[in-house]
Chain A
Amino acid sequence: MAEAVWTTLALASLTTLILLVLAAPLGWWLAHGRSWRREAVAALVLLPIVLPPTVLGFYVLIALGPASPLMVLLHPFGVRTLAFTFWGLLIGSVIYSLPFAVQPIRSAFQAIGPRPLEVAATLRASPADAFFSVAVPLARRGFATAAVLVFAHTVGEFGVVLMIGGAIPGKTEVLSIRIYQLVEALQFGEAHKLAAALVVFAFLVLFALLVIDRRAGAPRP
């Protein structure tokens, strides 16, 4: 069971880290303008919200299998497949939680408005400088929301993980899958403990989110 907790935490932390880095430029680009191209990308980013996890998991599984063109590229490096590995799971999680990172960051960037960036430009800050010294700090609430949502969403994921991971203890068996297997084996006592722990966790996460929201609304000390 400790293994499942560890795998879950590692997966959720890494997914959060990767998505914050990935969603910052993507959210920035999506926040500026409403061209066809941008809306197409925005729709693509939102897909994981509406698709059944099995569909997503199925395609990721195929993409990570030994025959996929993606994996063929990695064959020279001694990697034949990422299916049923922790790294495969990580890739699936990143795609699955992408909308939960991009949406809050995109809205936070949009909420800044053009003025602070114009101010930065007239004070000789280059666009990259202004991005890091003005846009990111002003969008910090969006980043905090994204981090909490992604972490929680990854902990709570089941379908994708089941499709890609294969529930190998110590490698790809996360908590949600562990509970499923405990129930199948009629070990209700164990299942209860884990399930209750996840309920408490989910509550704390949502509570934290609301607190972030409240603090952002209050004036600075």
Chain B
Amino acid sequence: MSGARTLTFRLNGRFGEFVLDCAAEIPGLGVTALVGPSGSGKTTLLRCLAGLVRAEGRVSVGETVWQDERRFLAPHRRGVGYVFQEPSLLPHLSVRQNLAFASRRAAPGEGPSLTEVAEMLGLAALLERGPERLSGGERQRVAIARALLSRPVVLLMDEPLSSLDLASKAEVMPYLEDLHRRLRLPVIYVSHDAAEVARLADRVVRMRHGRLGPMVEVRPERRAAKGPLTLMTPGQVEALARAALAAGIEPAAAEEA
């Protein structure tokens, strides 16, 4: 896989009442959390970046232009990995076939094999199962593995944990943290769960009414301590959430002063 590349975009679009108007440069490494209230346009922005929805503007990754005034690359030519909010496995295929669907169509080049990725996400024992015989957390792990196997140049994750119960969240979280250390590509992680953001994000961007706020770096030492989410009391989760949100929104420099 070639070196990490910056994702640059400037997008405008009107979707019914909703107006999307945002621009950003997403660094080629690490997880950029996209936070904001529901209806602020986070999913729409991701869908525009993937090319699933058309907006006006320009999107490029490194030197490659995905869209500008003259061209619009179809989603299958962009090389985005997309993890949808609800686990979206192809229902007619087994876990192995879902993964193979991605690896067979992956971009040419080096990358971990199907077996390695399955290992990384703890799926080795589930490969022959059909999607309907998996738990929610297992399904989402397959969806993440599948997205990685297509060797994306950008990984978009749209609230991958929000459809899961607390236990499943706690089950998937360590895999996400592990990936975070290994992946060498820009990741946009949409979430409105501050605890998730605190544990995964390198930087946070806030979205409101279709517009993006400034990007704020989260220093590693300020990231929340790792530990199973289930062991925390609701009060602790809330405290963590507040701390994380504060960490994400306030500029680090201001706090040092």
Nearest CB in chain A: distance from B159 CB, A: 15
A138 within 8 A of B: yes
Q: Which residues does chain B contribute within 8 Å of A115, judged by CB atoms? A: 84, 88
Stretch at the interface among A26-34, A49-57, A83-91, A120-128: A120-128
A215 within 8 A of B: no
Q: Which residues does chain B contribute within 8 Å of A116, judged by CB atoms? A: 88, 90-91
Nearest CB in chain B: distance from A83 CB, A: 44
B75 within 8 A of A: yes
A25 within 8 A of B: no
Q: Are B79 and A134 in contact (CB under 8 A)?
A: no
Closest residue of B by beta carbon distance from A134: B90
B105 within 8 A of A: yes
Q: Are A123 and B146 in contact (CB under 8 A)?
A: yes
A interface, over-half SS: helix
Closest residue of A by beta carbon distance from B93: A137
Closest residue of B by beta carbon distance from A112: B91
Q: In the complex, A127 Cα to B51 Cα: how many Å?
A: 13
Residue of A115, A121, A123, A134 with most chain B CB atoms under a 10 A cut-off: A123
Tell me how many residues of A have a C-beta within 8 Å of chain B: 21
Q: Convert A126-160 into 0s and 1s, putting 1 for each residue whose CB lies closer than 8 angstroms to a CB of B.
A: 11011001100110100000000000000000000
A44 within 8 A of B: no
A21 within 8 A of B: no
Q: Which residues does chain A contribute within 8 Å of B130, judged by CB atoms? A: 220
Nearest CB in chain B: distance from A125 CB, A: 6
Q: Give the interface residue-count category, chain B.
A: 20 to 34
Residue of B77, B81, B88, B90 with most chain A CB atoms under a 10 A cut-off: B90
A189 within 8 A of B: no
Closest residue of A by beta carbon distance from B150: A123
Q: Which residues does chain B contribute within 8 Å of A134, judged by CB atoms? A: 90, 92
Question: Which residues of A10-51 are within 8 A (CB) of B?
Answer: none
Q: Are A124 and B107 in contact (CB under 8 A)?
A: yes
Q: Are B81 and A125 in contact (CB under 8 A)?
A: no
On whether A119 and B90 interact (CB within 8 A), knowing A124-B105, A126-B76, A220-B130, the answer reads yes
Nearest CB in chain A: distance from B247 CB, A: 31
B74 within 8 A of A: yes
Q: In the complex, A116 Cα to B106 Cα: how many Å?
A: 18
Q: Are A123 and B101 in contact (CB under 8 A)?
A: yes
A217 within 8 A of B: no
Nearest CB in chain A: distance from B239 CB, A: 37
Q: Are B146 and A138 in contact (CB under 8 A)?
A: no
Q: Are B75 and A118 in contact (CB under 8 A)?
A: yes
Which of A123, A129, A137 meets B102, CB within 8 Å? Answer: A123
Q: Which residues does chain A contribute within 8 Å of B50, judged by CB atoms? A: 122
Q: In the complex, A126 Cα to B91 Cα: how many Å?
A: 19
Q: In the complex, A140 Cα to B93 Cα: how many Å?
A: 13
Closest residue of A by beta carbon distance from B130: A220
Q: Which residues does chain A contribute within 8 Å of B132, judged by CB atoms? A: 219-220
B173 within 8 A of A: no
Q: Are B92 and A137 in contact (CB under 8 A)?
A: yes
Q: Are B105 and A122 in contact (CB under 8 A)?
A: no
Q: Are A122 and B91 in contact (CB under 8 A)?
A: no
Q: Are A138 and B107 in contact (CB under 8 A)?
A: no
B232 within 8 A of A: no
B80 within 8 A of A: yes
B31 within 8 A of A: no
Q: Are A123 and B105 in contact (CB under 8 A)?
A: yes
Q: Are B84 and A124 in contact (CB under 8 A)?
A: no
Q: Convert A90-123 into 0s and 1s, putting 1 for each residue whose CB lies closer than 8 angstroms to a CB of B.
A: 0000000000000000000000000110111111
Can you give 9 A-B contacts (C-beta < 8 A)?
A: A116-B88, A118-B75, A118-B82, A121-B52, A121-B76, A123-B101, A124-B106, A125-B101, A133-B101
Q: A118-B82, A134-B92 are in contact. List 19 more A-B contacts (CB 8 A).
A: A116-B88, A116-B91, A119-B84, A120-B76, A121-B51, A121-B52, A121-B74, A122-B81, A122-B147, A123-B102, A124-B102, A124-B107, A125-B76, A125-B101, A126-B76, A127-B74, A129-B105, A134-B90, A137-B92
